Amino acid sequence: MDLVSLVRVLLVGFLLEVHMRITSKGQVTIPIEIRQQLGLFPHTEVRFVVDGDGVRIVCDEDHEQKRGRRIVDHLRGRGSVQMTTDEIMALTRGET
């Protein structure tokens, strides 16, 4: 079998075909345009579904919720400002 993989992605009503090569580690790069269109961000969990003689990549159903949780967890405890919430809100409102 040839190492060239045909990646088929269904994008809002039309089929986009992109030829990619599988690396020696079994990895395939998903083009940026496809990742952006489908909301596939770093660390997004996906499932590989064998479909006839091909494979579909399916986003985890609640990947947006998980992405939000990862962002919050990443940022938690990183703030270095010694202000209260009321002081920050006053600054955002232009109150001094």
Q: What is the pLDDT along the chain (96 residues), one digit of tens a residue?
A: 344 444 444 444 455 677 888 999 999 888 887 887 777 878 788 888 998 888 888 877 665 667 677 778 888 888 788 888 899 899 999 886
Q: What is the pTM of this model?
A: 0.47
What are residue 6's phi and psi, to 5 degrees?
-100, 115
| pLDDT for the residue numbered 70 | 75
**How many helices (DSSP H) and strands (DSSP E) are in the chain?**
3, 4
The SS3 call for residue 88 is: helix
| pLDDT for the residue numbered 25 | 94
Are the C-beta atoms of 5 and 26 separated by less than 8 Å? Answer: no
User: Which token pair is 28?
Assistant: 């395939």
For 54, residues 6+ apart whose C-beta sits below 8 A from its C-beta are 6, 8
Distance of CA 3 to the CA centre of its chain: 25
| pLDDT for the residue numbered 24 | 94
